[in-house]
Chain A
Amino acid sequence: MRLEPRSGVPVHLTVLAPACAVVLALALTAIPLLWADVPVVRAYGLIFEGALGSQFALTETLARATPLIFTGLAAAVAFRARLWNIGGEGQLYVGALTAVAIGSGAIVAPPAVMIPMILLLGALAGALLMLIPTVLKLRLGVDEVVTTLLLNFVVLLFVSMMIEGPMKDPMGMGWPQTAPVVDAAALPKLIARTRVHTGLILALAAAVAVWVLVNRTAWGFEMRAVGANPAAARFAGIPVARVMIRVGLISGALAGLAGVGEVAGLKGYLTLDLSPGFGYSGIVVAMLAQLNALAVVISALFVAVVFVGADFMSRSIGVSSYLANLIVATSLLTMLAASLATRYRLRWR
């Protein structure tokens, strides 16, 4: 029995692999459920119902998918160039912080100015944050995995400091939160009386833009070459360092936009629990999509379904909503294993 490299990836496998990974993940997650005497089918049914069972549920799922699309794109872009950006969480928060700093009254302007401004500056904040580990990697050979991770903790502490200090909402009754984003800067709702906002449109547009960038432009060509074989890329004259910095900036910017969306579109103000791990989930989203920007939309929806559904299920039958994290984490590992099937064929000799 041998593993033989495939010559090309058959199209049906690119869809079948993640689908099988998800099914396998659900099957594996059933084990701890069974151990806890939880009715598995009912639990999964409740997840499904809670995420897709009503119009309102659907809008909740879409709202939850919005930041996941952004962080998924951030991870996909970076990982494609083999830049391990695990700092999506921190980049999200600085984007949110910037949006609130500018959008909660410091500047007065009409929405046509305010909204692009907070988007731009929030993205820029995320980009600049990612610049630090990228430059450390390029100049000093410091592994970016650890630096991006450690910076997440630093950023969260910084946000906490801001929220409890200079940016505390004077009318927030003492709760650790910032002042709300003014109406002019708020992202309008897509559907009235729901939480789905125009950030979703932006996210979808970003997915298309990233796909075009990676697959159709010279920049994308460089990124893919550098990610696949940096030595050959350098030999061919591709400016590897410049490409990596570009990748780092774009990746950080996308994660920053996730934060802007959450704060200006969904929640309205910034608290420490703005993101229940969107940055990390974004990595799973990217892997399930096999780093393809368009597929990120689909895998982000899947992850959103799991989280929104698990909240509902948790309230219904008292199973910890950490089940969602469990399903998503298992999916990452099963997807990794499934990716073998797309690259190798099993030969029974």
Chain B
Amino acid sequence: MNESVYRKPEDLVLRLRGITKRFGDLVANDAIDLDLARGEILALLGENGAGKTTLMNILFGHYVADAGEAHVADATGALAPLRGGSPHASLLSGIGMVHQHFALAENLSALDNIALGTDSLFRPWQQRRGARRKLAALMERSGLQVDLDATVATLSVGERQRIEILKALYRDARILILDEPTAVLTPQESERLFGTLRRLARDGLSVVFISHKLAEVMTISDRVMVLRGGRVVADVATAGTDGPRLAEIMVGRPIPPTVRQSMEPGEAVLELAEAHVPGEHNRPALTEANLTVRRHEIVGIAGVSGNGQAALSNLICGLASHDRGRFELFGRAAAVGSPAQMIAAGVGRIPEDRLHDGIVGAMTVWENLLLEDYTRPAFVRARFLRRGAARANARRIIEAFDVRCPGPEAPTRLLSGGNIQKLILGRVLNRQPDLILANQPTRGLDIGAVTYVHRRLLEARGAGAGIVLISEDLDELLTLSDRIAVLYRGRLSPAVATEDVTIRRLGLMMAGHDAEGSAADAA
């Protein structure tokens, strides 16, 4: 469905024609055409892996397109060809980008990060006074306030995102690209961001908003372009369509909704009572945490990243110890601070960062599947690895968990994100754990992999496991969890039954208001 919206050429700030990009055999972008008008907010919608970020990375100069051409309006409004392959050239052409993972040097100040690259490297002094004046005016006009002299490491996620936007505005961006900007915000913060964007768009800024979340797209955008498998499959005015229709186009096939059958929870597998995990700078990372997880139940942990998720996850994974309170597994005190003992106790752990913590990329698939099991007698005899048994085990798991790979001997770094996650899932579920910790288990995965992971987690729940699901994706939490608790500044709210909770209420709790909705402190 390609409804080209008629647009006058003089209103165009961006014109892409036939943009194509290949990575080996994978065609990430396939002959994409895109028009963007002044003051327009365009949503680039598609599931993970559809090619949205690749397209914008080409526009911003991180990648070079294999084919196609791009034209950007200069200061007078005339379209001029864009020199590809250089962020510097894109910046000069008026394109700014807020990356999904903020491109900020943490040990430098906000002003340093904004001013970086704006002065010629041959100039023997910095133009700080002028910069401050310009930024003061920008902060006034856009409503984005930030302490310019604060070190980025001390700033919250919301503040960092404001710096990213100011960076682009400071360089007189006429086109602002935002890559999944709400992934790290509370619903309320997202609302504020949308307000800012609308204000900037009214002033003449054009916005490209990358997202895979339908609700946001419907809220903020004037127009929606849907990518699927690297191709444009729809280009419509937002007013003329709706969520369900876009969902269908986005995925291209009917996805049966994940259904969670209600179950009677069994005995407690995890018990946290007033648990306290120390953090950095004498600030506790987790305070007075109370949590009970039973068999046959999934407890979701909502919250913006940085509010204690790492501490909770590390505690259950065995990477951190609590210094106060109780932490019990299956009714007995847990042996803390030892991942090996957690594994032996029957805890299955799916880490947040699969590449960093989950797999050893340089080792083969069968070796990675052996990573947590290499001390078991089935795989080791008199200190020698039983390679045959390990390989056979790997083949079984690859089969059972649909891990697409050239074979057990393949180096794991070659696998796609979704298959790596399935490998980790297979490694964990193969041991039939009684407690599973799943930390952002579907981050960055395409819809097929997401559905698969959800199905497997529900199956494990059905088989008797208790699951702690930490996720930034509220939809995922609402779909999978029986009960939901919210982490805010290291404090865990009481877990509430999913039926009794709304996104709005969760959003408020994620921002620090308590379960009753009264403000504990300002967000």
Verify whether A and B have any Cβ pair under 8 Å: yes
Q: Which A residues have a C-beta under 8 Å from some C-beta of B?
A: 4-5, 7-8, 216-219, 221-222, 224-225, 228-229, 231-239, 349
Would you call B356 and A232 a contact (CB within 8 A)?
A: yes
**Shortest 8 CB-CB distances between A and B: which pairs?**
A237-B340, A237-B339, A228-B362, A236-B371, A229-B360, A235-B357, A228-B360, A236-B372
A-B CB contact pairs (8 Å), 23 listed: A4-B24, A7-B410, A216-B384, A216-B385, A218-B383, A221-B367, A221-B385, A224-B363, A228-B361, A229-B360, A231-B357, A232-B356, A232-B358, A232-B360, A232-B371, A233-B371, A234-B319, A234-B339, A235-B357, A237-B340, A237-B341, A237-B343, A237-B372
Q: Knowing A218-B385, A225-B360 touch, does A235 contact B367 (C-beta < 8 A)?
A: no
Q: How many residues of B contact A (CB 8 A)?
A: 37
CA A231 to CA B360, docked complex, whole Å: 9
* Binary flags per residue of B336-351, CB closer than 8 Å to A gives 1, else 0: 0011111100000101
Is the beta-carbon distance between B374 and A221 smaller than 8 angstroms?
yes
Give min CB distance, B208 to chain A, whole Å.
27
Give the complex CA separation of A349 and B360 in angstroms.
31
CA distance A267 to B137 in the complex (A): 79
Are B339 and A218 interface neighbours, CB within 8 A?
A: no
Query: Which of B349, B380, B411 is within 8 Å of A235, CB to CB?
Result: B349
CA distance A53 to B360 in the complex (A): 47
Q: How far is the CA of A216 from the CA of B386 in the complex (A)?
A: 9
* A217-B383, A218-B385, A349-B66 given; A235·B374 CB < 8 A: no
Residues of the A chain whose Cβ atoms lie less than 8 Å from the Cβ of B89: none
Residues of chain B with a CB closer than 8 A to A4's CB:
24
Give chain B nearest CB distance to A276 CB in angstroms: 35
A228 B363 Cβ-Cβ under 8 A? yes
Residues of chain B within 8 A (CB-CB) of A5 are: 413-414
Q: Contact at A235–B317, with CB atoms within 8 Å?
A: yes
Interface string of B384-426 (1 = CB under 8 A from A): 1101000000000000000000100011011000000000000
Q: Is the CB of A232 within 8 A of B359?
A: yes
Residue contact B361 to A229, C-beta cutoff 8 Å: yes
Tell me the B residues contacting A by CB distance below 8 Å.
Answer: 24, 66, 317-319, 338-343, 349, 351, 356-363, 367, 370-372, 374-375, 380, 383-385, 387, 406, 410-411, 413-414
Q: Which of A4, A224, A236 has the most CB atoms of chain B within a 10 A radius of its CB?
A: A236
Bound CA–CA A229/B66 (angstroms): 34
CA A328 – CA B358 in complex, angstroms?
39
Instruction: Give the residues in chain A near B374, CB-CB below 8 Å.
Output: 218, 221-222
Residue ID in chain B nearest A349 by CB atoms:
B66
Residues from chain A with Cβ under 8 Å of B342 in the complex: 237
A215 and chain B: residue at smallest CB distance: B385
Cα A228 to Cα B410 with chains together (Å):
16
Contacts of B387 in A (CB 8 A): 216
Closest to B343 in A: A237
In whole Å, how far is A6's beta carbon from the nearest beta carbon of chain B? Answer: 9
Known: A235-B319, A237-B339. 5 other contacts (CB 8 A): A5-B413, A221-B385, A229-B360, A235-B339, A237-B318
Instruction: Find the A residue at minimum CB distance from B314.
Output: A235
In the assembly, what is the distance between CA of A233 and CA of B374, in Å?
Answer: 12
Most B CB within 10 A of own CB, among A222, A224, A228, A233: A228
Q: Inside 8 A of A238's CB, which chain B residues have their CB?
A: 340, 371
- Is the Cβ of B351 less than 8 Å from the Cβ of A218? no
Provide the residues of chain A in CB contact with B343, threshold 8 Å: 236-237
